[in-house]
Each structure stands twice: as structure tokens, then as C-alpha cells.
Structure 1
């Protein structure tokens, strides 16, 4: 048997089937230019947020953005750095440095490719909405908190890893507030809030950054300091330090040759891979969730249908190769993908063009980026965090959702903020699964059927009991449902159990039923199972629970169950008469 080929170029195959035209090309060009302009400041801001120089965000868009569009499974997804990764990537950078972050991203890429090859794209549908909403809202809170340092120009002694310590550090640093940074932040936030209502066709963040840069220059001329990218970051060229970001393309470098937390190249070891494995899995799972959710949103906007496994492989290849050229973790971004669709995109070419816009910006506009104020970029990320937190959806869910779903949401949100997203998603999934099992077990019950329930039961002897089991018999419900059958009544000789409403059995139920049969056999009680659906009957046979005359029988309905019970009782009655006569 031949293995199925990997679903590469799925989005391009969809594009060709839809028919490509000059009109589609014009739409891709316009959308690519629009989204590329949007991506430039976001990529730099998100790279800074995860603790690496801003050019790494641009390299991510340049390499991962184009590779994912080329190999992925969604025609409209636009990939690059996203805010969702900040809470995972920042601790990795703090502990392992830039080299550790890129190596972890490479490992996550391999995991994503494996998920795609295993056809696991549909498994993402089993993550409950309260879990997703809870950790995304928690991520938004954490990102917003991290921005106050640059929003107010605060001088922190260090960057604590825990949320409570971060709040304490910000409070203690309030006396170091800088007037210039605060004014730039307020002006940028005002533009971000007001501009979309006035000029919706021009991205508001571009206007906010332009105004922030001009205001920063004005304040600098008035001897009011404002922190900028050029002051915070620099690059080395032939032994000379230059401010800002390098105006040239990244070069191929193995991640472990880049600086670790001590400024020295990483020491490759099994222990290092062991420590990075859990974060890599977290990155891969979050990347899969984000990219596939984004593809679903894009499908809803366009009426298209993405290939989830192809998208996972595309995301994996992008995250596998981007770190070799300085790129950090990438995934599809809902905001950029939605802007891509609204701007008229037709194919993955739009996302590739968006990467080309970043390429032009690196080569020709890098010196200008040095003048961007850190406070303006922080204001941009603050708005991203607000949009990501989905406050309205959280409020709506808290108001209308069942209490169990509210508990899951609040648990995921709290754990994401106070601890980390890996723990939040793990606990959230376990809690949601446990509550689901409880709900399903509540649907399964066993009840005694009265004689007037069915015509076949009207004149059955008193030493025949009739039960009905309704619902799935699995590990969460089997013991409760079958325990009723163990309550022996003196004189009972046959028990009829209607299982026509049992859709499935698991191994726990089969084992419990086998124990019931042993107890019945020891007591001389026969069991008639009425109406098992075909696959349940097959499961019983495979488990070795076979027919034994006088002890176990399978029948089609209650009428046949009545006949079988009376047939078993007749010889027993005859034997009883003979004994008395003797």
C-alpha cells in the first residue's frame, strides 16, 4: 500500500482550479502592498516584545511569510510574527538567548510538519472555544502589561518572568517615568483610536507611527528625551557599530552559533534539546491553532475551503527554515489575513508580495526606522493586545455560557496570566474534557421498565425484571449504569436489558458487563440483551461475551426478549414441580 503524498502547494492548486486572471493579479498586487505596509511596524514591534532586535521580525516576514504562502493550504492566510507568541517566546529568550529562541522555533517547525504528515489538521477542531478564548484573553492581558515599560519610558532593574513580579516592578519604577515617552504614547494611542473613523482606507497604525516619530523629533529638539529604535538597538558592520537595524539581507546561520543568554554561542547538548522540547511543543500547538483558526475565518469571508494538513506542513516549513536566516516564530495572523481579503487578494501570491514589500523596506528604508519611538511601537502593541483579548466575546460568554464553560474560560485566563500558556492550555483541556465526560455520563442512565411500558411485558412473571439502558457506556458512565443490574432481588431468574439506545461501548463497559454476567451465572440468573445495534453486538462478540443458553442471549426486540425469558423459565418451572412431587 502506497503512502499518500504530502499535501504541498494545496493553496496553489485551489487557486488554479478557481481560475487565475489579470483581475486576480491586480487584486493580489494591491492586497500584498497593503498588508506588507501593515506588517512592517508590527513585525518590528513584536520582535522587540519577545526580547530580540527588531530586524528579526522583518526577517520572519521575509522568509517564513513567503515559504508558508508557497507551501501552505490556505489561499488567504498571511503569516509572520504574531502577538499570541509573546508569552511563550519572551521566557525562552530570557533563558536561552536569541540562539535558543531560533533553535526552539526550528524544533517547533519539525513538530508542525509531523502533525501535517499525520493528517492531524482536523484534531484542532476538538479544542473547546472557552479554552481558546481564555488563553487568548490572558495573552492580551500579559502583552498589554509588558508594554507599560516603553509606554511610560520606565527604567526597570530587570525583566521578571512572573506576572505579579512584573506588576511590582512597574509600580516600583513609576518614579522613573519619562515625559517625552508618555506624550508620544498618548498621541499615538489617540491616533490609533480616532484615525480609523476618519480615514478608514489608510491603516491607522501608519499614521500613529508617523505622528509619533514627528512628535519624538520635536521633543528631542526641545531637549525632552524620547527613546527610539536607533538608541535601543544597533548592528555591527566590519567592526563598526551603527544605530537601528541593518539595511541588508540576513545571512544563513545555524541557530546554535548565535548568542545564548551569556552572549556566547549555545553549547549543543541533549539537555538543551530536552529543556526546549516542551516550549517547542507549545509553539507548535499554538501555531497550529492560530493558523487553522485564521484559515477558517478567511474561508468564512471568501467562501473558500482550506486544506488543514497542507497548512500545517506549510507552517512547519516556514518555521523550520526561517530560523536559519534569523527569523523568529511565525504563524498566520487573523488581522493581517482579514485585511488581505478585504484588500482584494485572490491567491497566496498576495502574501508573497507582502514579504517582498518587507524586503524593499529592509534594503531602502532601514535608516528611517531608527527614528521610530519605542513608545509609539508600544502603543501599537497595546491596541493589538486589546483587540486580541476580545473583551466583548469574553463578557458575552460569561453572561450566556453554562457554568462549566465559564469555569474553563476563567481557569485558562487566570493560569495564562499568572503562570504560562502551556499550563493554561493543558489544564483547560483536562478540565474541559472532565466536564464533558461528566455531561455525557449524566446522559447515561438505567431504569426499571414497568409492565405497561410495552405490550410484550404485560403478563411477564414476577421473577423477570426488565431494565433499559440509555446513552453511551464508557468509562465515565459504565459503572453507574451497570451497578443497577447488580442489585439482586430474591426469586429473580431472568433479567431483560433493553440496550437499543446504547450507541457505543468501551473497554471499561465491556469489563463491567463481563463482571455482571459472572455474578448472574453464580446466582443462576439469565441475562437477555435486547436490541443491540450492529457495531455494539460486534464489540460484545469480539470481547468474548458470547451467547450461552440459559445464561446470555442477544435478541432483536422486547417481543423476542419475552419469548426467550419464558423459554428459559419453563424447564426451570418443570424441574421445580418434579422436585416437589418427588
Structure 2
């Protein structure tokens, strides 16, 4: 095989599987990946079923998603040990889409999300995911956790009621109305399932707690002939056949209505998969390819939809399990999908006996893990702006809509950031402490100087407008010191133009000193001198004083060794 490396643009999208195989892959690697793949498949089996049921569909849809999308994410992804499949983050949005548009609407929504992810990867937007504010992510994740918890109350308590409403308030109102129908058997099985998971996490953390919880609850229910609702009694027998390429009726006429939900799914898939890849890099010392990972996630979601599956993304918990089990390459993820397929074909008759209360116990634990209570509390101790963003995102996620929560959270975070940046900008007649405290004494009569510190952008540009109003008398020369201005935007340029116009109208000469590279370039590109008129520029403060003396007609003294 040729040792020539592919070009940089191709390496950015080259699947890690190809890189690993090209570098050499032996039987020892295959054995390690097989053990890891089997371990993850055992963990993923109960989760895939539980997540599908919580999303408002049948458990086989979750298994098909884990098989098809899990295979594609590992085969094409930019992370070496990423495990993909359905995750809890999708539950609220998938539940609402199915309720409003039917399962065909979800298929279209997943297809659109997949295409969005492919486009995001090809446009190299993977790096932009790093700029998502942490309070938005924490509030959004905690809100989803609360939504998942509330969706499991019916099965955890065995309430005799119809379909669970999608709205948070309506859902809890319905629960309160049917609280008298609570089934002690369901409550007991839920408690048993929780106890098994918690006990194993404490004393046997390497054991698959979710699977043991399902097995224990199923054995107890069968041995005692408990009247518990099971997967089989609600959904019938699970299919014991390969996933088939079958597309239900897709309401293409409602594409525009589904775009917000599709964006939410794409956003969740992108953020969660890249977050999982970053954590995996920290555990393995590797480095993922973010844009290639986004393309793989997009292809996986399109593939899942074409086989009637659910949205998929990188699963952090399963990826961590894969790493701890000794995975060495994406082959472990491919084998995880193969083992899941074997389990589904061989064990589907037995899965029908699993109590729904046991699956509810699994998802209650998932919701608790997802809530990140400590991180939520930690963020509440942050500055007031971060607290507002956190609580706003959390409240809208729980009470209104996930898409709106993302939009509102990001917008609120942007306003908080702009306010902080504007507050950091200083406009002062005083000199910095590290400069000669007698610099202002060097100013000739009739000359004033002000210093700007910080980025001159639209959030702070209004500070320039009031500069001349702060002076008791109109100066003959006004020096604006800009050495500490690293960047300027169009609003800042406009504010400088207005200042220059006011100076010209009142007969004041304007001198700007110490321009850095970016402000100098932006002013030139936007034709500042042409719009502002007669403005002088000085390289530093000392030169600005010399120019001011010449303009004011003051006799020149010894030049000062001053900063700009």
C-alpha cells in the first residue's frame, strides 16, 4: 500500500476506520474490539428499547436505529471509538413530532436533519459547535432530563390512562387526575429495577446494570405471575427479522412545518456527537475529525430513516463503556451493531416479557444522569447573566419547546456577552498606571486627549458619541488614543465618523493615534477618511502631541517619550 498521505481536505473527512486499517490492524486488535463491542451491545440492548418506547414508538424501532445508525457512525465517523445510536436527548422532540405528524413525519424530520448535518460537515461548521455557551447546554440538558422523567411517570406507577399528553403542564395534570389508578405491582417493579441499577453501580460498576435490572424484573414478574404490563402486552410480538428498507407515507407537503424540529434534531445530534468525541479524545489521547464526524452523523440519520428508525447521534455513556472495555478502533462499534442484530434475531420472543415498569426504571436513571445536578448548581453560582441564560433555557425547554429554548438561550447568551464586552470598554481622559503620570501635562493649551480601551463594537460604540459632550470647552485639537483597541466593527467605524463630523462642524481638529492592525485595515476598507473628512493619524501618542502642537499653533517643546 502506498505510503503517500491523502491531501489535507480529504484527511479532514476520511473515516477513522480507513486510517486505522491503513496503519495496520491485527488479530489482537480484533479480539479487543470484539470484547468491547459485545460489552457495549449488552448495555445498548435495554437502552434502545426503552428510548424507543419513551419516544412514543415501538421497541424494535430503537433496536433498528442502534443497528443501522450504529454501524454507519462507526464505519464512516471521524472518531476512533465513538458509539452511535438513539439517545435520551431526542425523546421530547421525537415524541412531539410523532404525536403531531405521525411516524411518517418523523421519518421526514430525520431525513432533513441528516441532510443538515451532512451540509454542516461539508461546510466545515464542526468547529462552531465549540462556541455554544455552557449555560445554554446545561439548562437545555437539564430541561430534557426533566421531560424524560415526567414521561415515565405513567409506566413507573402503572397509571390506567390513555396516551400521555406532550405538554409538560397538561401531562402532570393528567397524572394528577389518574393518580388513583396507581398499580402497586408497577411501583414495586420500578423500585426493584432502580435498586438493582443503584446497587450494581455501587458494588459492581463494571456489570451491565440496565440489563440486570430488566432480567431481574422480568424473572420476578414471571415467577410471581404479577399482573404487570409488558412490552408484549402493549406492542405485541417483536419482529425477529432483519431491518427492512421500508418507508412509510411521508408528508412532504408539511416539510416547512417540520423544519424547526429537524433543526433541533440536527443540533442535538451535532452537539452530542462532538461532545462525546471530545470526551473520548480525553480518555484515549486521540483526536477526532469534527467535520468528518458531522458528515457521518448525517449519513447515519438518513440511513436510519430509510430503514424506519429514529434519530441517532454519538452516545457518551456507551462510548465511555466502549473505551473502558478496551476498544482500539471503530471496528468495536461495527461489531456492537452486529451483536445487537444477533440479540434481536435470537432474543426477540423473550423481550416481549419485559415489564414496562422495568424500562421506566432504566429511563429514570438515565434522566438523573442527564440532569447534571452538580453542574446546574455550579452554574447557579456564576454571574447573574449566566444564571438568567441557564434558567431561561431550562424553563423554555420544559414548558414550551426545545427549538425555541435553543434560540432563546443563544440569543440571551449573546446579549449577556455583548453587555459584558460593552462594560469592559473604557473611555477615559486618565492615563494607564504603567505610563508616565505627567503625560497629560505635555498637552498644549486647547488640546484634549481621551483613551479607549477594549473592542470598539456596536455594543460600545455609543460611548464615542458623548466624548465631546464631556468637555467643558471646545478644544482646538482632540486626540483619540486607540492603542488599546484590538478590534473594531462597522458600528465602531460609524461612531468614529460621527465624531469626526462633529469635530469638523465645531472647528476641532481630530487626531487618532496608535491604531492596531485590524482597526487600521477596517478603517481603510470602509473608506473612513473619505467619509470622515480631514482626520490626522499618528503612530503613537508622542507623535500625536507633535501633530497637535502644529495644528494648534503652539510652540513645540521637547517631545515626550510616551506610549501611543
Paired residue secondary structure (2:302): helix
Contact 2:108 2:251 in 1 (8 A): no
Q: Does 1:291 align with 2:241?
A: no
Contact 1:495 1:527 in 2 (8 A): yes
Paired residue secondary structure (2:58): coil
Q: Which whole-Å CA distance do the structure 2 matches of 1:280 and 1:445 have between them?
A: 43
Q: Which whole-Å CA distance do the structure 1 matches of 2:86 and 2:331 have between them?
A: 19
Equivalence for 2:75? 70
Summarize the Cα distance change of 1:459–1:356 in structure 2 as closer, same or farther, 3 Å threshold: closer
Equivalence for 2:428? 447
Paired residue secondary structure (2:405): helix
Which stretch of the first structure deviates more once superposed, 550-559 or 376-385?
550-559
Q: Which whole-Å CA distance do the structure 2 matches of 1:541 and 1:419 have between them?
A: 47
Q: Aligned match of 2:543 in 542, 554, 560?
A: 560
Equivalence for 1:240? none
Paired residue secondary structure (1:412): helix
Q: Which whole-Å CA distance do the structure 2 matches of 1:116 and 1:219 have between them?
A: 53
What stretches of structure 2 of length at least 5 have no aligned partner? 1-6, 557-564
Paired residue secondary structure (1:156): coil
Summarize the Cα distance change of 1:571–1:207 in structure 2 as closer, same or farther, 3 Å threshold: closer
Contact 2:13 2:289 in 1 (8 A): no
RMSD between aligned residues: 2.2
Contact 1:228 1:370 in 2 (8 A): yes
Equivalence for 1:149? 154
Contact 1:14 1:75 in 2 (8 A): no
For these two proteins, the number of residue pairs brought into alignment is 548
Equivalence for 1:465? 448
Q: Does 1:406 align with 2:387?
A: yes
Contact 1:441 1:476 in 2 (8 A): yes
* 1:149 positional shift: 0.5
Q: Aligned match of 1:253 in 219, 230, 246?
A: 246
Contact 1:115 1:121 in 2 (8 A): yes
* 1:103 positional shift: 1.4
Q: Aligned match of 1:302 in 264, 284, 302?
A: 284
Equivalence for 1:538? 521
* 1:77 positional shift: 1.1
1:176-195 aligned at under 5 Å gives the runs 176-195=181-200
Summarize the Cα distance change of 1:94–1:450 in structure 2 as closer, same or farther, 3 Å threshold: closer
Q: Does 1:352 align with 2:334?
A: yes
TM-score by length of 2: 0.93
Equivalence for 1:315? 297
* 1:487 positional shift: 4.3
Q: Aligned match of 1:517 in 500, 503, 526?
A: 500
Deviations 1:398-428 (A, max 9, x none): 23x2221122111111111111221111111
Q: Does 1:340 align with 2:316?
A: no
Which stretch of the first structure deviates more once superposed, 287-296 or 173-182?
173-182
Q: Which whole-Å CA distance do the structure 2 matches of 1:284 and 1:326 have between them?
A: 18
Q: Which whole-Å CA distance do the structure 2 matches of 1:548 and 1:280 have between them?
A: 46
Q: Aligned match of 1:324 in 300, 306, 316?
A: 306
Summarize the Cα distance change of 1:510–1:340 in structure 2 as closer, same or farther, 3 Å threshold: same
Summarize the Cα distance change of 1:489–1:349 in structure 2 as closer, same or farther, 3 Å threshold: same
Equivalence for 1:578? none
Which stretch of the first structure deviates more once superposed, 171-180 or 480-489?
480-489
TM-score by length of 1: 0.90
* 1:245 positional shift: 0.8
Contact 1:219 1:226 in 2 (8 A): no
Q: Which whole-Å CA distance do the structure 2 matches of 1:32 and 1:295 have between them?
A: 17
Summarize the Cα distance change of 1:547–1:370 in structure 2 as closer, same or farther, 3 Å threshold: closer
* 1:12 positional shift: 2.2
Contact 1:445 1:481 in 2 (8 A): no
